[in-house]
Structure 1
Amino acid sequence: MQHLKEGCEIMTLPLHSKKDLTARIMQEKIYSLLQQGKRLDGRGPRDLRPITIQTNLVEKAEGSALVTMGGTKILTGIKVEVGTPYPDRPDEGTFAVNAELLPLASTTFEPGPPDERGVELARVVDRSLREGKALDLKKFCIVEGEKVYILFIDIYVLDYDGNYYDPALISAMAALATLKIPKYKVVNGKLEKTDEYFTPELTALPFSVMVGVLGERFLVDPQIDEEKVLDVSLIIGTDEKGNVVSIQKNSPGPIPINLMDEIIDIAWEKTQEIREKFLEKVPVRLAPG
């Protein structure tokens, strides 16, 4: 497993740093439970919430997946269009990730265009897919320099009970794994859609886990009450080879460097667990190598 060891100043994490009295009381309760190896919902500190995955639920999407992780529910739909490649990558398709936090999912989500939380969620998923090399984009080329497939990956938070990052990536990966993309052929210089479809191979299996720190204690996959009072949290993405492909800091608190190795080891262990569950539930065409 790769580690991050360089360049950070060691800092002390202040427990009970929240100003709100209710939050401080909740923080103390959660910390006391962690000292006993327990959590509010009965899990151990390093236990994930139960995960369910359903695919092909949205008829008009080329790929879709509904994922629940505890009380958090995420729907991903993928639409595929034909477009022009980027000039510097004429033989590669492309993808774009969008995320919406629906107002019905939480009283803290507002109607209107995606706010900074939705933008951040989309960026985290995009970075994990892109840096984790989940897709070989050359496989999405139809006519080099002229026509390629463009994937629009739309993520919707339907219910929010803490940590929507990990189930969002699981949902995106499940939708990608079950894509049905129409094939095209060139006839008399024109592009024509055929009656055939193909499912692209995944070239890697990046997944993420949120690791929270409270005092000197760790927990993974926080539910909403835990997430609100953590000193600091990180969303760490890894691939199946143990490479760290993405890191997102999700709170203002500092992270002492002496904790980073342990945090990354925890992330590797738990993303491997997610990977195993994913492969049990989703039919995956994985490219060799």
Structure 2
Amino acid sequence: MSQREIIATVKRDYIVDLAEEGKRVDARDMDQYRDINIETNWAGNAEGSALVDLGKTKVLAGVKIERGTPYPDKPEEGVLITNAELAPMAHESFEAGPPGEEATELARVVDRGIRESEMIELDKLCIEPEEEVWMIHVDLHILDHDGNLIDASSLASVAALLSTEPPEDEEDWELSEFPVKEKPITTTFARIKDTIMADPCLVEENAMDARFSIATLENGNICAMQKGGSGTLSKEDLLNAHELAKVKSKEIREKLD
């Protein structure tokens, strides 16, 4: 076993022992999120943007609007495309090159929360049925990684979309504003042994058995879910996570307002 592996094992055992005592490495309560800061209109060359700090995790989301071809099965709807870039400067585990499995999963989870909540009224973004629609690109740039990229990226995306302005100098844009109607919030929980904790930091993610992310609407209804990790979750775990998600998403949504 290498020195790096030995250190990782010692850290994991320490986090597990703390969890069994009802404690966390940064002294937070089990249902407590790290400090959240949201700064919109951060990138001047985008139609919408937001920089989110979740503890030491930092994510920049940018929104670009362009013309494109609709999907064949939805010829009268605009198109949402979400991409994530895990820059090597954000963490030593990230490598340069095409998006890997982690980046692909992150983009899909964020995309699903936005899409299934129907946050964007895509039916209003048609220019010519079957021919041309508006395409919404949400690009995620991970600047610093200290855990829970899903929540930070989802929040940055929602904040960026809420700040999005119609494209300038586009004659075919007929709407007075960018069509959004929902504010989905994703909250993530980790299970370590028999303990469920909100907003896991990186060392907690490295020690967790399973991860569960829930995207909820303002009325508390679930619009998307994602399970990660090799461990299992019981029905009770899921029900408890949903109740926590309703409380935590309300707190986070207030920061958007």
TM-score by length of 1: 0.81
RMSD: 2.1
Secondary structure at 2:167 match in 1: strand
- Aligned residues of 2:58 and 2:142 also touching (Cα < 8 A): yes
- Aligned residues of 2:196 and 2:237 also touching (Cα < 8 A): no
Counterparts of 1:10-89 in structure 2, within 5 Å, are: 21-89=6-74
Counterparts of 1:159-174 in structure 2, within 5 Å, are: 159-174=144-159
- Aligned residues of 1:183 and 1:198 also touching (Cα < 8 A): no
Query: 2:238 matched to 1:253?
Result: no
Shift of 1:244: 1.4
- Aligned residues of 1:49 and 1:221 also touching (Cα < 8 A): yes
* 1:205 paired residue number: 183
Aligned pair partner of 2:134 in 149, 163, 168? 149
Shift of 1:267: 1.9
Counterparts of 1:183-222 in structure 2, within 5 Å, are: 192=171, 198-222=176-200
5+ long unaligned stretches in structure 2: none
* 1:4 paired residue number: none
Shift of 1:198: 4.2
Shift of 1:36: 4.7
* 1:180 paired residue number: 165
- Alpha-carbon distance in structure 1 between the residues aligned to 2:45 and 2:237: 46
* 1:284 paired residue number: none
- Alpha-carbon distance in structure 2 between the residues aligned to 1:183 and 1:139: 18
* 1:186-234 alpha-carbon deviations (Å, 9 max, x no partner): xxxxxx468x984324221111111011111111101111110011111
Question: % of aligned pairs identical?
Answer: 39
Secondary structure at 1:168 match in 2: helix
- Aligned residues of 2:212 and 2:228 also touching (Cα < 8 A): yes
Shift of 1:116: 0.4
Bigger CA drift: 88-97 or 61-70? Answer: 88-97
Shift of 1:184: 7.3
- Alpha-carbon distance in structure 2 between the residues aligned to 1:104 and 1:28: 28
* 2:203 paired residue number: 225
Q: Choose 1 or 2 for highest CA Rg.
A: 1
* 1:96-133 alpha-carbon deviations (Å, 9 max, x no partner): 00101000000000010111000000000011011111
Amino acid of the structure 1 residue aligned with 2:131: E
* 1:134-160 alpha-carbon deviations (Å, 9 max, x no partner): 111112123334332101111011100
Aligned pair partner of 2:143 in 145, 152, 158? 158
Shift of 1:166: 0.3
- Aligned residues of 2:140 and 2:153 also touching (Cα < 8 A): yes
5+ long unaligned stretches in structure 1: 1-19, 186-191, 280-289
Secondary structure at 1:103 match in 2: coil
Shift of 1:91: 2.3
TM-score by length of 2: 0.90
- Aligned residues of 1:169 and 1:207 also touching (Cα < 8 A): yes
- Aligned residues of 1:54 and 1:67 also touching (Cα < 8 A): yes
Query: 2:111 matched to 1:126?
Result: yes
Amino acid of the structure 2 residue aligned with 1:173: V
* 1:271 paired residue number: 249
Shift of 1:165: 0.5
- Alpha-carbon distance in structure 2 between the residues aligned to 1:174 and 1:232: 28
- Aligned residues of 1:76 and 1:171 also touching (Cα < 8 A): yes
Secondary structure at 2:89 match in 1: helix
